[in-house]
Amino acid sequence: MRKSVVTKIVALACSLIMCAAVAGCSSDSSSSSDSSKSSDASSSKNQIAGVTATGKLGEKPTISFNAPMTVSDGSYVVLQKGDGDVIEDGDRVCAQGIALNVKDGTELMDTWTKNTPDCSLKVSSSTLNSTYYGQIKGAKLNTTIAFGVNDQNSSGYSYILAMTLVSKSKDLEKATGEEVKDIPANLPKVTRAKDGKPSIDMNGQGSVDSLISQTLIKGSGKKLTDTNTAVVKYSGWLTDGTQFDSSWTKNTTIDADLYSGGQHTVIAGWQKGLIGQTVGSQVLLVIPPDQAYGSSGQGSIPGNSTLVFVIDILAAY
């Protein structure tokens, strides 16, 4: 039983305890604006006392505290102030992390040893809860911050997450690269507005039995593998031209895991069609039913539907 609990928390911690950091997922669900109004009154209450870090900036710190201790969600302390660039709103941050059980000080997770930083953190009040947003925005790279996570209900542990902010980048706003010239003439025709939003002419596209993945714009960024999560904007249509979804109309992006068992599951046609593509690319996918929603369909998508997607790959981690 203990092994399964440890496995659960390590899997969670390897994404830097995403549910502790994302907006609305932890008990610290107040908005950043509400939080800022009471920051002076609550700052001392939310500080974790008795935790220290030693070591060179930008390298794995040694975290010390007297166990056992208690922590609450929303608690934090800056352990080391960084010396790098200032993190701004909209940045994508990569962070190394150590999770330590507050009961006995044992290490539950460490991304430093295998150098597997988590780059899922998008600095925004809509994506991070107020505590994480308030501490990460405006911090300098190589800063180490300890966050308290009271996770007794789901994992059986309360722990300190010591997060070191090691790098930052900006996601693209739309596909950026070289337009592909030799696109087969029988595929759907895609046009784009100035902001990158795609429109489509189905050009007689019918049902298919096998996946079609056609690069429309070739980006020069990172090549996607089956270990990556892609950050994308997309639109999706039925072959009769009916649009059933678009992140462009919502002005949002989604994270799409290109592997099984992740937190951001997508249909098989996306996984197979995006692997090997590069960040900055725009990709046309024509997906057969058995790699989409099969005979059951989903929502407004009828069963046995071939689906057509235009996907802009804006980042990957």
Looking at the structure, tell me whether residues 247 and 281 fall in a common domain: yes
Point out the domain boundary residue: 113, 145, 170. Answer: 170
E strands, the chain, are: 52-54, 62-64, 76-80, 91-101, 107-110, 118-122, 144-151, 157-170, 177-179, 189-192, 198-201, 212-219, 229-238, 243-246, 254-257, 282-287, 307-316
Question: pLDDT grade, residue 46 (50/70/90)?
Answer: confident
Q: What is the pLDDT of residue 239?
A: 99
First to last CA, the chain: 32
Looking at the structure, tell me whether residues 150 and 37 fall in a common domain: yes
pLDDT tens for each residue of 153-168 = 655 678 999 999 999 9
Q: Six-digit token pair at 140?
A: 């300098």
CATH number, domain of 219, equals: 3.10.50.40
Looking at the structure, tell me whether residues 34 and 12 fall in a common domain: yes
Looking at the structure, tell me whether residues 302 and 267 fall in a common domain: yes
* pTM of this structure: 0.84
pLDDT tens for each residue of 92-148 = 999 999 999 999 999 998 999 999 999 999 999 988 989 999 999 999 999 999 999
Question: pLDDT grade, residue 263 (50/70/90)?
Answer: confident
Which residues form the domain of 273? 177-316
Point out the domain boundary residue: 123, 151, 170. Answer: 170
Looking at the structure, tell me whether residues 140 and 215 fall in a common domain: no
Looking at the structure, tell me whether residues 51 and 190 fall in a common domain: no
